[in-house]
Amino acid sequence: MLRGMKRLNRYENRILKIVKLGGKLVRFKQFGFSTKTKEGFRFPIYVLEIGKEKAIKRNLAGLVAGVHGLETIGIRVLLDFLDDLLSRKTSELYREIKDGELGIVCIPILNPGGVALKRRSNPGGVDLMRNSGVEAVKAPFFFGGHKISNVFPYYRGNVLQAESKVLDRFYNEYFVPAENAMIPVVDIHSGFGVVDHVWWPYAGTHEQCVDETLFQKIANHLTTKFNHILYRFGPQSETYTTHGDLWDRLYNKYQKVKVETGSNGSRFLPLTLEIGTWSDIQLDPWKVFRKRGIFNPAREAKQESIISHRKFLTDVLRLAKTNPIDLL
């Protein structure tokens, strides 16, 4: 656990440096706590607001990482992106944020207890991406989520976990009131496949979500206009299905909110960036036996992988100030 605590501490120190780097453009909030460890300790969960308050309400985009404690490459991608954004004050994205045209909210580490304990799950042994309570139409046995025991990976839990409730609060406080036509949110994961996937709802069913056509247009827009041809776009269920996906739950909640409130036509668009980390297994077969091995790139390729996603994240977040009819 000591090594995990040191790693978590490094990430938290880097978050504080990003806050300092951003000056008045960045606000740092303690937003909730993790599930308790066996010793009764709860790790704080933080949110960063980047941009002017009016932009947070009118042209909002979101970033999340660290849902699984072993997938630390996602945390590093998010922190690298923010560090680069706030360092390069001549970039177009920085100017848009400074001028109040765009706001970003981030949870850099949703599962700090998992990072500290060096485990995929939270401190209670629950896999947060199997925890929402959404039942899949058909999911693979065990891997798709189970309720056998928290001793085994992919355990769903019986109640919504503290970390999942923090994500709920994050959604309710920022995304439900947002006024922009498209509200993109990128949740960064790793550890599946040899290519980088960009998934949209649903994970639990092959049924198309109500925004399927818009998601397809976004994929075409990012591929054709911005040349993001190395990413494989599609609903997660095309790759595999799971019970309890948190974004399936929040996406469905948003559709109900729209009906109940007669909302202004905004679209809540959660995307999962799944960074493929299996391409080097043939060169290093022992990787599959290391605890964090299959969830992260090889050490010699790690920095290149981290930097490679900067432009993609920039182009996705800028969708927050785009009208759907302007997409290709």
Q: Tens digits of per-residue pLDDT, 150-207?
A: 999 999 999 999 999 999 999 999 999 999 999 999 999 998 877 999 999 999 999 9
**Helix or strand or coil: residue 229?**
coil
* Within-domain flag for 328: no
DSSP letters spanning 71-133? -HHHHHHHHHHHHHHHH-TTSHHHHHHHTTS-EEEEES-S-HHHHHHT-SS-TTS--GGG-S-
- Please give the structure tokens belonging to residue 26: 């960045």
Residues 160 and 131: beta-carbon distance below 8 Å: yes
Model's pTM, two decimal places?
A: 0.95
What's the CA gap between 285 and 203, in Å, rounded? 29
* Within-domain flag for 284: yes
Amino acid at 64: V
* Within-domain flag for 327: no
Residue 246 is part of a domain; what is its CATH number? 3.40.630.10
What's the CA gap between 60 and 53, in Å, rounded? 10
Residues 288 and 294: beta-carbon distance below 8 Å: yes
Hunting for tokens 């800028």 — which residue is that?
Answer: 318
Determine the structural domain holding residue 158 and report its residue range.
1-321
Q: Report pLDDT for 257.
A: 85
Sites in the chain below the pLDDT cut of 70: 1-2, 262-264, 277-301, 328
Count helices and strands (H / E) in the chain.
10, 8
pLDDT in tens, 215-240: 999 999 999 999 999 999 999 999 99
* Within-domain flag for 326: no
Total tally of structural domains belonging to the chain: 1
